[in-house]
Copies of this chain bind each other. A is one copy, B any other.
Amino acid sequence: MRRGTNLPAVGGFNQTVILDLIRRSGGGLSRVEIAEQTGLSAPTISNVCRRLLEDGLIVETGKRIQGPGKPRVILELDPKSRFALGVHLDPAVVTYAVLDLHGDVVSHMRRRTPSSGRPAKTVTAMASAIDEVVARSGVDRERLLGLGIAAPGPIDAARGIVVDPPLLEGWQNVPLRDALADATGLPVLLEKDVTAAVVAELWRNSEREDFAFFYLGTGIGVGLALGGEVLRGATGNAGEGGTLVVSGDLPPKRRSDMLGHVATPPLLVAQAIDAGVLADRADPVDEMFAELVAAAEAGDTAATAILDRAARLIASSIVSIVNLLDVAEVVFGGPYWDRVADRFLATIGELVNSSAHRVTRHPVTVSTSSIGADVAAAGAACLVLDTSLSPRTSSLLIST
């Protein structure tokens, strides 16, 4: 059903527009500049800024002389006026991050994921780790806007449930959102990990509107932002990249020709063992993957061949995605990306842009996420910031 709009809805929206503008301005803005950029009237801006000042979200930071009129008061975001907490549940590690309103990490912690297969125990451990990271950050709990969780899919977004992640033993239908809300007393949001990564990119880089986020974790995710909005899909489970079929020069003992079966770090490690580059042992994937990359860097031809092949397969999947969705930019990140960024980024960019299968000739930009390996935890916190503070035209509709 389509709703109309009215004055109270408009007021709330204009407040988020002004706050967003001040936040993204960097050096602050005067009321006159806000009027120019938003098209809003001076009395509206005056009222909204008074409310934002009272709430402590913005501060007056001085005066700027510009032209012949009287000096203009500069309004800036107070980044330490509110905070958000993000948790990334990964099969190997749980990452905790406290972010300020700029999206900067003010405190940060990692804990190995309990391998008990008993989610209730993990939830208890997570709640106490949350207390610990908040205490360490020195942030007043009153100033926490909420807690975001990034979890591996599939999830039941509406009910806040982790449904059946392939690599988390015993995690079937766990109501993680409500369990952590009960345990912490905070408002909690649950999102798929790769979706959270997209939210982090959108929060931190206002110019990015249409992009794919290629997430290199234990599996491969492909999150999407289109027109400046994250794509969640019908049930919050968009972003699975592992089942994209790839072709060309596939590894010899491959499980299938799906990207998730030929180019993930665990399977690249397996290929390295098959090729005699690595010894067959039970060390953590992260460690062995680092060794594979180091071998390639040292000039090992078998190691180099394995990584080059993976880069080609990833590039070919990106060509399909670019053709299907017409994204202009691909951002790469996730826990394993940094190890291969130097090697992969230029190669993939070159292969995608020179591909004979590209439909348009528009260049596709490739870049590494500026947020680093903790992008999913930071993204989970950005979810909270975004939900609380971003302008959304849907909020203009009269609520039922």
A residues apposed to B, CB below 8 Å: 1-6, 10, 13-14, 17-18, 20-21, 37-41, 44, 153-154, 163, 209-210, 222, 224, 226, 231-247, 256-258, 316-317, 319-321, 323-328, 357, 359-362, 391, 393-394, 396-400
Q: What separation, in Å, do the CA atoms of A233 and B323 have in the docked complex?
A: 10
In whole Å, how far is A160's beta carbon from the nearest beta carbon of chain B?
16
In the complex with contacts A38-B2, A394-B393, A247-B245 CB distance below 8 A: yes
Q: What separation, in Å, do the CA atoms of A329 and B20 have in the docked complex?
A: 35
CB atoms of B235 and A328 under 8 A apart: yes
In the complex with contacts A40-B398, A235-B326, A326-B238, A357-B10 CB distance below 8 A: no
In whole Å, how far is A18's beta carbon from the nearest beta carbon of chain B?
7
CB atoms of A324 and B326 under 8 A apart: no
CB atoms of A359 and B10 under 8 A apart: no
In whole Å, how far is A96's beta carbon from the nearest beta carbon of chain B?
27
- The quantity of this chain's copies bound in the complex is 2
Q: What separation, in Å, do the CA atoms of A209 and B41 have in the docked complex?
A: 36
CB atoms of B320 and A244 under 8 A apart: yes
Q: Which residues of B have CB within 8 Å of A241?
A: 324
**Which B residue's beta carbon lies closest to that of A155?**
B360
A-side interface mostly: loop
CB atoms of B235 and A153 under 8 A apart: no
Interface centre among A236, A241, A320, A398 (most CB of B within 10 A): A320
In the complex with contacts A2-B20, A6-B41, A234-B210, A324-B239 CB distance below 8 A: yes
CB atoms of B393 and A238 under 8 A apart: no
CB atoms of B3 and A328 under 8 A apart: no
**Which B residue's beta carbon lies closest to that of A400?**
B39
Instruction: Point out the residue from B243, B362, B391 that lies within 8 Å of A359, measured CB to CB.
Output: B243
Interface centre among A2, A13, A40, A209 (most CB of B within 10 A): A2
Q: Which residues of B have CB within 8 Å of A21?
A: 2
Instruction: Point out the residue from B44, B224, B362 that lies within 8 Å of A235, measured CB to CB.
Output: B362
Interface centre among A40, A233, A241 (most CB of B within 10 A): A233
CB atoms of A360 and B245 under 8 A apart: no
CB atoms of B39 and A4 under 8 A apart: yes
CB atoms of B20 and A13 under 8 A apart: no
In whole Å, how far is A28's beta carbon from the nearest beta carbon of chain B?
16
In the complex with contacts A10-B6, A398-B38, A325-B233 CB distance below 8 A: yes
**Which B residue's beta carbon lies closest to that of A157?**
B326
In the complex with contacts A245-B320, A323-B240, A359-B237, A17-B4 CB distance below 8 A: yes
CB atoms of A153 and B359 under 8 A apart: yes
